[in-house]
Amino acid sequence: MNVGSTLTEAMAALVGQKRAVGYKYLAEAHTLARFEIFSRTEFPGLETVSEESVQAWIAAARRRGVKPSTVQSLAAPIRELARWLNSHGTTAYVLPAGMLPQPTRYVPYIYTDTELAAFFTQTDRCHYCSQVPLRHLIMPVLFRTIYACGLRCSEARLLRVEDVELTTGVLQIRDAKGGKDRQVPVSEALRVRLADYHDRASAHPAWEGEWFFPGHSGRPLTLVNVYHNFRRFLWQARIPHRGLGHGPRVHDLRHVFAVNNLRAWFAQGQDVAALLPVLQTYMGHSSIADTAYYLTLTAESYPDITARVQQAIGDVVPPITEEQGHGH
């Protein structure tokens, strides 16, 4: 082994290499650390990735009853480690593609205009709670920002005060998926709402000044907090929830943002093929194919424009595959 003589050193070198070129590689590093402990326990003295250790790792995950998507995420960094070892002079087993069952593709929930209106009406009715004194101010604006800007939930809840330019109406999204930053302009109506929220929230004694949507003890809102409020608003708006993993999800608001923009462009007779890269940049996608995925959702939700959607897909990207559409 040319770089690192032990499996632990090889993992550290791989993680360092990934981070040096801009990847966060946090979850993957955690998986590698767990695999190192597993391998040392089950296969003492093994300083590479063997077929036996990989199969035992996957079998252990399946015994825990994890979902196919989780098995994939547990296997992917080990496959990457094996490739790295092979490239640095140590023979290692690379799990072949297609050996694991593909997880069922989640079909995003596309809210109707009526459902969106009902949902946001319920966020506006969020009442004051002494235990969470800023909740009634945060929730109506947080969910509107996610939807109106097509943000990932983490991008919205991790906004710092200095990331929100209230005069020009631009959000600075930092260290988003893929380690990328981007700027997102907001509509004038949302800019006014953001400014009003900030004036009211910053005047409250509970305001601490770092996070634009603060949680407890100087930290940002947690995903659990956002999700619990989201489920309550869904129930109040009489929008059925099909259970964990089936949606609707908060992330579906981002999907609806994309679909509704495409729907409006089609209705206005715009050149959707030309506008797709604009949507790609706005949403922070690394690939035009990720953005084009929303064309299929638009066609599924609004069948009357199927022919025009198909034309736009054909003009821009190859046909959408089952693998596309995850993690947008």
Question: Which tokens is 30 given?
Answer: 């955690």
Residue 98 is predicted with a pLDDT of: 85
Quote the mean pLDDT of the chain.
87
Question: Is residue 8 within 8 Å of residue 85, measured between CB atoms?
Answer: no
Cα–Cα distance for residue pair 63/58, rounded to 1 Å: 9
- Every domain of the chain and the residues it spans: 7-88, 113-237, 250-316
Higher pLDDT, 114 or 179: 114
The predicted-structure confidence for 16-74, as pLDDT tens digits, reads as follows 999 888 778 888 999 999 999 999 999 999 999 999 999 999 999 999 988 888 899 99
Residue 315 is predicted with a pLDDT of: 54
Query: Helices 272-283 and 288-301 meet at what angle, rounded to 10?
Result: 110
Residue 130 is predicted with a pLDDT of: 82
Residue 314 is predicted with a pLDDT of: 58
**Can you state the percent helix, strand and coil of the chain, rounding each to 5?**
55, 5, 40
The DSSP code for 220 is B
Residue with the two structure tokens 């050996």: 99
Q: Is residue 187 very low, low, confident or very high in pLDDT (cuts 50, 70, 90)?
A: very high
Residue from 189, 187, 212, 210 nearest 199 by CA:
212
pTM: 0.74
The second-level CATH assignment, the architecture, of 113-237 is: Orthogonal Bundle (1.10)
The predicted-structure confidence for 216-225, as pLDDT tens digits, reads as follows 888 899 999 9
Contact residues for 61 (Cβ-Cβ < 8 A; gap 6+) = 70, 71, 74
